[in-house]
């Protein structure tokens, strides 16, 4: 199986005044399709910076990132933005939902930028909301949803574009155990059923047994890389 996402010898540092902080140190990594890969480590170890660089949101100081065969450093800003729109989805800790929009309207948003007409966008949005177990909640606004439901709306919004690359940054850290498990099971199922490359970064130890592969990170480096036998996945409540 070929990697759909790879970093070669990437480094990143941030400078504040006279203080330089090395966040990533000559790091190389390959991520594969149809599985959930988890980068696990303590806060401040560089995992969110790694995700930002792998997704093209941040440039490394050195090294290269290849996504779906594209060297991201060679793409002009407009081409990189188009690449992210067409091929990537993002799920964040804070949900990033609009208070005035219903769940189905939230999911329709990115489809407008891809040229979907309103009827087609609504059909796609309802389909993916059903896939994440929220068909009956599609007309509710964020204030009427639980934290876990909000995160599943965010996942549906990312999934609606049928991305080949799906990035999740601390997707369960604001959730209780039950909702956190539903969210990680949803991401795992998306990897398997859609053949997507799903990369999740988190310091939440509950996620480890639900990933296909766990990469432990500390001080800007990958310390270990192991596969998890028989990753657990449970049915999503309807």
- The verdict on pTM exceeding 0.85 is yes
pLDDT, tens digit, for every residue of 140-150? 999 999 999 99
Please state, in angstroms and rounded to a whole number, the distance separating the CA atoms of residues 185 and 4: 22
126: CATH: 3.40.50.300
Asked if 10 contacts 28 with a C-beta cutoff of 8 angstroms, the reply is yes
Spell out the residues 6+ positions from residue 61 whose beta carbon is closer than 8 angstroms to its own.
11, 12, 13
Domain range for 127 is 33-56+76-227
Q: Please report, for the chain, how many H helices and E strands are present, in that order.
A: 6, 10
Per the structure, how many domains does the chain have? Answer: 1
Mean pLDDT score, 63-91: 94
What per-residue confidence (pLDDT) applies to 1? Answer: 77
Residue at 24 is within a domain = no
Residue at 83 is within a domain = yes
pLDDT band at 94 (very low <50, low <70, confident <90, very high): confident
Please state, in angstroms and rounded to a whole number, the distance separating the CA atoms of residues 238 and 3: 34
Residue at 123 is within a domain = yes
Residue at 128 is within a domain = yes
Q: Enter the tokens of residue 17.
A: 């005044």
Spell out the residues 6+ positions from residue 184 whose beta carbon is closer than 8 angstroms to its own.
36, 171, 172, 200, 206, 207, 210, 211
Q: Which of 142, 137, 140, 144 is nearest to 99 (CA)?
A: 142
Residue at 233 is within a domain = no
pLDDT, tens digit, for every residue of 4-32? 999 999 999 999 989 999 999 999 999 99
């Amino acid at each position: 199986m070929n990697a759909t996402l790879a970093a070669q010898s990437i480094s990143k540092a941030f400078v504040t005044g006279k203080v330089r902080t090395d966040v990533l140190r000559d790091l190389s990594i390959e991520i594969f399709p149809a599985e959930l890969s988890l980068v696990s480590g303590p806060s401040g170890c560089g995992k969110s910076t790694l995700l930002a660089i792998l997704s093209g949101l941040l440039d490394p100081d050195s090294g290269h990132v290849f996504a779906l065969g594209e060297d991201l450093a060679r793409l002009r800003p407009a081409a990189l933005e188009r690449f992210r729109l067409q091929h990537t989805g993002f799920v964040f800790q804070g949900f990033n939902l609009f208070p005035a929009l219903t769940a189905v309207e939230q999911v329709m948003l990115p489809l407008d930028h891809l040229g979907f007409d309103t009827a087609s966008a609504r059909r796609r949005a309802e389909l993916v909301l059903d896939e994440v177990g929220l068909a009956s909640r599609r007309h509710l606004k964020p204030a009427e949803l639980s934290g876990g439901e909000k995160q599943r709306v965010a996942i549906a919004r990312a999934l609606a574009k049928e991305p080949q690359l799906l990035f999740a940054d601390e997707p369960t850290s604001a959730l209780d155990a039950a909702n956190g498990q539903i969210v990680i099971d949803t991401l795992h199922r998306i990897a398997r059923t859609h053949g997507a490359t799903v990369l999740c970064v988190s310091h939440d130890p509950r996620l480890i047994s639900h990933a296909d592969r766990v990469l432990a990170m500390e001080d800007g480096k990958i310390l270990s890389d192991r596969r998890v036998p028989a990753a657990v996945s449970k049915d999503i409540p309807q």
